[in-house]
Amino acid sequence: MEKNEKKNGGLPELMETSMSKIREMVDSNTIIGEPIVTPDGVTLIPVSRLSFGFGCGGGDYGKDSQGKFGGASTAGVKVEPVAFLVVKDGVTRVLPVSLPAVTTVDRVVELVPQVLDRVENFIEKRKADKDAF
C-alpha cells in the first residue's frame, strides 16, 4: 500500500488536500467579520456562527503491484449570521439577527447588556452630580 500511496497520492494526500481547503475557508474573519463604518460614525461588526464537517475514505484495489486506489473526500461549511456589534459614541451594543426571544430566560439574557449600560450611565450621572455640588 505504501508504494501505491507514493505513486497515486493515496488517502493521506487526499485528506491533506481536503483539510488545506477547509483551512482556506475557515479563519477568524469568518466568525468576527471586518468592521463596517457608516457615514454617521457607527461601526458595525458582524458576528457569525461557523459549523463544518469533513469526511474522507478510500481503498486499494487490485492484486498486482500496479494496484489502483479509489477514494473520495467531502467537506461542508455553514456560516450563519448571529449578531452585529454596534459601536456608537464609545458604547457597544449587541444587535441579534436571530428570532426574538421566546422564553423568559432568553429575554433576560437579551436585556443584560441594556441593563448594564443603564446602571453604568446612572452611576456616572450620580458621580457627576456629586462633583457638581
When pLDDT is cut at 50, 70 and 90, the band that residue 7 belongs to is very low
Q: What is the pLDDT of residue 43?
A: 92
Dist. CA 88–CA 44, nearest whole Å = 9
Q: What is the pLDDT of residue 9?
A: 62
> Is 118 exposed, middle or buried (CB count within 10 Å of its CB: 0-12, 13-18, 19+)?
exposed
Mean pLDDT for the stretch of residues 118-126: 84
Q: How do residues 75-98 score in pLDDT, each as one tens digit?
A: 777 888 888 889 988 888 888 887
Q: What are residue 100's phi and psi, to 5 degrees?
A: -60, 155
pLDDT surpasses 60 at 4: no
pLDDT surpasses 70 at 133: no
Q: How do residues 18-69 score in pLDDT, each as one tens digit?
A: 778 777 777 667 788 889 999 998 999 998 888 877 777 777 777 666 667 7
96: which strand partners?
Answer: 83
Single out the residue of 44, 107, 51 nearest to residue 75, CA to CA: 51
C-alpha cell at 71: 477514494
Dist. CA 5–CA 70, nearest whole Å = 11
69: which strand partners?
Answer: 60
pTM over 0.85: no
Q: How do residues 91-118 score in pLDDT, each as one tens digit?
A: 888 888 876 656 777 677 777 777 888 8
String of b and e for 37-52 (b: at least 16 CB within 10 Å)?
Answer: eeeeeeebebbbeeee
Counting every residue written for the chain, the total comes to 133
